[in-house]
Chains A and B, each alone.
Chain A
Amino acid sequence: MRNLIAFFKRFQIFLVFVLLQIVALSAYIQYSEFARLQVFSSASSINGSLYQVRNSVTQHFNLEGTNRKLEWENARLREKLKGSNYKIDRELIQIEDTNYHQQYLYMAASVINNTYDKRNNYMTIDIGKNHGIQKGWGVISSKGVVGIVHLVGDSYSVVKTILSKNINVDVSMRDGGAFGLLKWDGINPKICQIAGISNDISIKKFTKVITRGGSGIYPKGIPVGVITKRKSIEGKPLWDLQVRIAEDFRSIQHVYVIKNVMLDELRELEGRIPPDKEEEEL
């Protein structure tokens, strides 16, 4: 026993060092599993309100650009109003309620903090649990896909943007329909990659990339970006595709959070698919 105490005294510094490293690194590696760690993020109310104060100062610097963007979006939405359409087929069924159920609901939010230069980039928005936000909902902007809600606080939430490791958004080509997963290699905040498209599918440069709507997080057809470079990976039958993403994360200010009304049904249905038994047979 005395030897043990002597041992602890002798290596006290190193033991404290190892202990603190274990705490810090395990928090970093598996933070998403500890719900309590959300207190230590910008979703917590103290940090959120500090960022809100900063945002209320800095948001005015970009007012001109923001206004132009909103004007452009207003114009686009106005074009979709019933009043600005000319009806060609007079026999079309009028009552939309019975044929069309609302599937996606949108909620506007302001970005109060975001990064684009780290390996995993997050964005803090000013709505949270009090507004009914839940983890896993999609986030888009007027230009394109932004990310997925990652942590939810009472009145703020943290969004994991597509500029992150393992974000894996379901995307497909607008022409052709080949689909793959969106990834980011951490180098250029304007360029993302698409993985998993077989290289016998012909894909042209400047093909528009849209969301596939497969996972139920985003509706189908939200713009993602444009293919800028196409190479084949050596030794694998796959394309290495570079995508210039539509959203500019350096100047993003307003986003929309998407709720899919039928998400639970989709998840429940897909959960019933039996898991692969292939490994056991082999």
Chain B
Amino acid sequence: MNIFVLNSIRFVLFVLFQVLILNNLEPGLGLYAMIYPLFILMLPFQMGTVPLMLVSFVFGLIIDSFSNTFGLHASSAVIMAFFRPIIFKWLSPRDGYDSVEAVNVYSMGGRWFLYSYGTLLLIHHTWFFSIESFKLNEFVWILLKIGLSVPSSFLLSLLVQFIFISNKKAVR
């Protein structure tokens, strides 16, 4: 499938999943699971940082418009897009990323995925919750929110990949 069409379909599906389902799951203790960072991670390797940030900005703005946060998600998405090439460079395999077609847990391996996505999620969630509350005296509460939300977002992203991405390559 054309990579542009594929990513456009993903764009819509991630927005709907985040807005219609995850935004309504409010189990308490500030846990807020987010699936949309996975979309930014799964954008093609070849993309430059500037187009990456622009796509993330628009993507975040659309999520903002549904959750009444007016730029909070957009800001967090842009910071994640900014750090993505840095983290990727830092974790790059011996022979580079040339032979890799798609970014997911099958093509890159669990260890790589844990390090790169885990770090990016931590950056994203820390930024999101700090800007959301913007008060130093809620520090412990922000830490609790980050500590609960990062693992749940990570597990959710793993689950989504296990369900929706076929691992033909790994079997072969």
Contacts and interface: CB of A to CB of B under 8 A. Distances in A.
Given A16-B53, A40-B61, A118-B132, A28 B72 contact: yes
Contacts of A39: 65
Interface residues on B, range: 35 or more
A31 B68 CA distance: 10
B30 interface: yes
Interface majority SS on A: helix, strand, loop or mixed?
helix
Interface majority SS on B: helix, strand, loop or mixed?
helix
Interface residues of A, number: 37
Interface stretch (B20-28, B91-99, B155-163): B20-28
B57 interface: yes
Contact of B75 (A25, A40, A158): A25
A24 B30 CA distance: 23
B78 interface: yes
A233 to B, nearest CB: 13
A264 B32 CA distance: 41
A7 interface: no
B65 A186 contact: no
A13 interface: yes
Given A16-B50, A23-B71, A42 B138 contact: no
B78 A186 contact: no
Nearest to A121: B68
B123 interface: no
Contacts of A12: 50
Nearest to B19: A50
A42 B66 contact: yes
Given A44-B65, A119-B133, A186-B141, A21 B75 contact: yes
B57 A24 contact: yes
Interface string B115-135: 000000000000000011100
B65 A31 contact: no
B57 A40 contact: no
Nearest to B79: A21
A24 B65 contact: no
Contacts of A179: none
> 5 smallest A-B Cβ distances: which pairs?
A27-B71, A117-B26, A24-B75, A31-B70, A28-B71
Interface of B: 19-20, 23-24, 26, 28, 30-32, 49-50, 53-54, 57, 60-61, 64-72, 74-75, 78-79, 82, 131-133, 138, 141
Given A25-B75, A27-B70, 19 more contacts: A17-B79, A17-B82, A20-B54, A20-B75, A20-B78, A23-B74, A24-B57, A24-B71, A25-B131, A26-B71, A28-B69, A40-B64, A40-B65, A115-B23, A115-B26, A115-B67, A117-B32, A118-B32, A119-B133
